[in-house]
Amino acid sequence: MNIKRIDHFVLTIEDINKSKWFYGEVLGMEIITFNNDRVAAKFGDQKINFHETGCEIKPHAYSPVRGSSDFCLVSDDTVENLRTHLKDNGIVVELGPVKRTGSLGPIFSIYIRDPDKNLIEISTYNH
């Protein structure tokens, strides 16, 4: 087996419109609809599928609950620009910038929460 990359992952959410706003407007992802009524946030060659609580698509996580995810997204922007953009959109930075280790080496990270309280690390390799 030769795993090459992540294609998509699923977030259990409470309010599709809040998630569309956050991932689309704040994080700049493309909001797409597929299979007639499924919604996802697309960025690069990946996407995040949304499952509203109580309407999960089978098969799904064993215990799908909102706010249980913790993941890292990479930006090609500077930490200063990321902080300014988040502040301008009313998003509170929980931690950062802090130095971390990404899959390709040293990164600087800022931690925020989405509307469902998932922890999102936004990182940059551009110091």
**Fold of the domain built from segment(s) 8-124:** 2,3-Dihydroxybiphenyl 1,2-Dioxygenase; domain 1 (3.10.180)
What is the torsion angle, in degrees rounded to the nearest 10, for the CA atoms of residue 77, residue 80, residue 82 and residue 84?
-140
Residue-level pLDDT at 74: 97
Of 25, 30, 56, 121, which one is the catalytic site residue?
A: 121
What are the boundaries of each domain within the chain? 8-124
pLDDT band at 126 (very low <50, low <70, confident <90, very high): confident
Q: Please write the tens of the pLDDT for every residue from 58-115.
A: 999 999 999 999 999 999 999 999 999 999 999 999 999 999 999 999 999 999 999 9
Q: What is the pTM of this model?
A: 0.94
25 is annotated as an active-site residue: no
Our CA dihedral for 115, 118, 119, 121, rounded to 10 degrees, sits at -80
